[in-house]
A = this chain, B = another copy of it.
Amino acid sequence: MTKPAITLSEIARIAGVSKMTVSNVINGKKGVAEDTRQRILEVIQETGYVANRSARNLASGRTRTIGLVVPKLNSNYTLYIGEILRGAGDAADRQHWDLLVCTTSDDEERELRRIQALATGLADGILVLLPRAEQTYLSFLQDTHIPVITLDHGLIETPLPSIDVDNHTGGRLGTQHLVDLGHKRIAFVGGTYSRAHLERLSGYQEVLRENGLPIDPDLMVHGDYSQPSGFQAAERLLDLPEPPTAIFAISDAMAFGVMEAAGRRGLRIPEDVSLVGFDDIPMANWVHPRLTTIRQPLYQLGETAINLIISLTDGDALPGQRMMLPVELVVRNSTGKPEK
């Protein structure tokens, strides 16, 4: 269990060639005689040799690794991150790059530490998926020497390239769908103060205005994207003297909380109250009734981000500093015409 690692030199010695030839074989460089290559490959096989990453990285100055910084992986509000990760992981794999995921627990100091670690010898590019932009790490990132892309980022404006989702249109689509069904009192369950929240909210308000519907502050409540917060928000809404006939929650998790609150009061969805979520996490399709929601292209977001950042590490120019991915309304069974 504790046997000293084999090195390139040893392989070279055993195979009776120079280190360089071994190195060339490992890296698939051409210009190595077939029999030499075979002999070396055999030795590698027998010894179970694997190249030391630190040495390779140090010598080559490249890591073929992309660092991805996320707040957490477990909490409900970060459930959608898994989908992004899947897209990123698949894309990285296709190009034979590695993905290194770091969590920060929403801790400012850790955010900086993790990012610095990645930027200095651990990764060739960094994807920042932190809802809470902090000046501490942003200033570091802005003049670091490796490419960085922010994903679906917070409020602080930065010159860093970014990939975002079209939140404004998302806010519009959900609201318009409910308006089209004939709803007049449409509630909005927002999230924490962030760009995503503000943009979705503005889409909601815009559509109401366009349709001559009043913007009622009572109908705009806040959660933190989590299921319990959606539950609480719904309680408040349904306690209103004149409760809404439709609720637009800007995360699926909060929508589940709304379902829960409605269920406990004996209200049926969509007969008594229509419900639209946001995200389209897999679970949206499992609940009963199946949730009408705004699909974010999360998988594609991860994919795009990886492809883009890899091309950046190759020195390619970015096709536009800001990229925006489209959203889509997915109509399922949680929305219907108002009864009265």
Contacts and interface: CB of A to CB of B under 8 A. Distances in A.
A120 B105 CA distance: 28
A50 B228 contact: no
Interface in A120-159: 120-122, 140, 142-145, 147
Interface string A66-96: 0000001111100101110110011001000
Contact of A100 (B55, B100, B142): B100
Contacts of A110: 93
A184 to B, nearest CB: 29
A63 to B, nearest CB: 7
Copies of chain A in the complex: 2
A256 to B, nearest CB: 7
Nearest to A112: B50
A103 B85 contact: yes
Given A287-B260, A288-B263, A288-B264, A50 B142 contact: no
A271 to B, nearest CB: 15
A4 interface: yes
Given A54-B54, A116-B50, A282 B5 contact: no
Interface in A41-73: 48, 50-58, 63, 72-73
Interface of A is mostly: helix
Contacts of A81: 73-74
Is the interface on chain A under 10, 10 to 19, 20 to 34, or 35 or more residues?
Answer: 35 or more
A98 interface: yes
Contacts of A325: none
B72 A86 contact: yes
Interface string A18-53: 000000000000000000000000000000101111
Nearest to A302: B74
A2 B316 CA distance: 13
A331 interface: no
Interface of A: 1-5, 48, 50-58, 63, 72-76, 79, 81-83, 85-86, 89-90, 93, 98-103, 105, 110, 114, 116-117, 119-122, 140, 142-145, 147, 227-228, 231, 256-257, 260, 263-264, 282-283, 286-288
8 contacts: A1-B147, A50-B117, A51-B120, A54-B57, A75-B82, A89-B103, A100-B100, A228-B286
